[in-house]
Amino acid sequence: MFPDLNSQEIQLLTSFNMLTPENKREVLDYLKYVSGKQYRSEIYSQVLNNPLLHNGLMQALRMCEREDTGLEEINHKISQLKYMYYNLLEKTNNKYEESFQESRVDDLVKDWACIGFENVLDAVHSRRKDVMARELEEMIEGLIKLTKKDGKRRIIAV
């Protein structure tokens, strides 16, 4: 019936099937807890601690500080970073989609990116490099705060 199941998975299903309804709920609650912990860990390792994202933001900041860099180049770089961020987040969310029916713990992470990229793109439209640089600095500071232990605790508490 389930040819893709290995012996360990079959044993798990058999043992689960023997449990009382109350014990089944407890096991399911524990599985949600463990998968939630793993999800948060992956959000940090795949998204927030991603060196490409951090280095890309730093590169965009340096582009703003140079006189010879055009606004189109900066806008293109910001668009690439925004695409990369949301792609990484979506990959992680899709992996855990079936595990989390209720709201996920990444709201703080999403808010950081949504507000940050929106502010940076607004600054690009203002055509002022000093404003762009300031918004990028704030976004980088927010990323650094989220990747510290205090940021992790805040996400868990949300």
The whole-number pLDDT of residue 100 equals 63
Report the candidate in 97, 98, 88 with the shortest Cα–Cα distance to residue 42. Answer: 88
- Answer whether 157's CB lies under 8 Å from 62's CB: no
Q: What is the spatial distance between Cα 146 and Cα 138, in angstroms, rounded to a whole number?
A: 12
Average pLDDT over residues 93-121: 73
Domain membership flag for residue 2: no
The Cα 121–Cα 131 span in angstroms is 10
Number of domains, the chain: 1
The Cα 72–Cα 81 span in angstroms is 14
Q: Which of 107, 106, 115, 108 is nearest to 139 (CA)?
A: 115
Residue 86 within any structural domain of the chain: yes
Q: How far apart are CA 17 and CA 77, in angstroms?
A: 53
Q: Could you list the residue range(s) of the whole structural domain that residue 92 is in? A: 7-157
pLDDT for the residue 22: 92
In a domain, 51, yes or no: yes
pLDDT tens by residue, 35-93: 888 888 888 888 888 888 889 889 988 888 888 888 888 889 988 998 998 888 888 88
Q: Give residue 103's pLDDT.
A: 46
Q: What is the CATH number of the domain that holds 142?
A: 1.20.120
Q: So what's the pLDDT on residue 3?
A: 67
For 120-134, b/e burial (b = at least 16 CB within 10 A) is bbebbeeeebebbbb
Range of weakest confidence among 92-101, 111-120, 122-131, 149-158: 149-158
